């Protein structure tokens, strides 16, 4: 069981991205084939399957978080490609037993941001053979700093955003609430 909650792209943001993405481009859905199956879907935090209708869209997670929290990330605002289902899906498992996209040996960057939307550090994580414990330790380390409001997990290979973990409201170093 995970200690922290991996947050998928919220449904309201997904609805917008399925029309026009954060780079201003119209969404272009396609059916996943042998080449595009197995890509991480940020709407439900699982891998795509052959035949599913998916889309590759540009997403700016910190910009959207900042708008929700009245912050101004300035130059730390990034956008990049993410795969999502082309239509509404059931979202992530409500009681995950593992962190998504946790293939041992894969490299992840865990970027830490404060309540103003400014980067306050980060770390490289090579996913260990016991991925859940590795992520739990890395998030505990991040949230031990009281300045950290959220952590973005990104793939090193492409820089793609995978998911976000937030500090639970009103806590100091405690895990994210489900």
Which residues touch 142 (CB under 8 Å, ≥6 apart)? 110, 112, 121, 123, 148, 151
Chain position carrying tokens 């996913």: 127
Instruction: Encode pLDDT of 111-121 as tens digits.
Output: 999 999 999 99
| Nearest C-alpha neighbor of 114 from the set 164, 73, 155 | 73
Q: Does pLDDT of 172 surpass 70?
A: no
Q: Which of 6-15, 50-59, 87-96, 105-114 has the lowest mean pLDDT?
A: 87-96
Contact between residue 109 and residue 101 where contact means Cβ atoms under 8 Å apart? no
Q: Rounded to whole angstroms, how far apart are CA atoms 21 and 27?
A: 7
């Amino acid at each position: 069981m995970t200690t922290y909650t991996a947050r998928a792209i919220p449904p309201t943001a997904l609805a917008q991205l399925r029309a026009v993405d954060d780079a201003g481009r119209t969404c272009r859905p396609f059916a996943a084939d042998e080449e595009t199956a197995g890509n991480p879907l940020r709407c439900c935090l699982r891998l795509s399957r052959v035949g599913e209708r998916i889309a590759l869209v540009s997403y700016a997670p910190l910009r959207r978080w900042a708008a929700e929290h009245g912050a101004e990330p300035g130059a730390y605002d990034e956008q990049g490609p993410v795969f999502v289902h082309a239509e509404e899906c059931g979202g992530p498992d409500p009681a995950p037993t593992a962190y998504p996209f946790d293939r041992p040996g894969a490299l992840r960057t865990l970027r830490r941001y404060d309540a103003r939307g400014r980067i306050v550090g980060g770390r490289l994580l090579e996913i260990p053979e016991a991925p859940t414990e590795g992520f739990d330790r890395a998030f505990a380390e991040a949230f031990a700093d009281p300045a950290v409001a959220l952590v973005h997990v990104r793939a090193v290979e492409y820089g793609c955003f995978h998911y976000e973990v937030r500090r639970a409201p009103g806590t100091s170093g405690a895990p994210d609430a489900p």
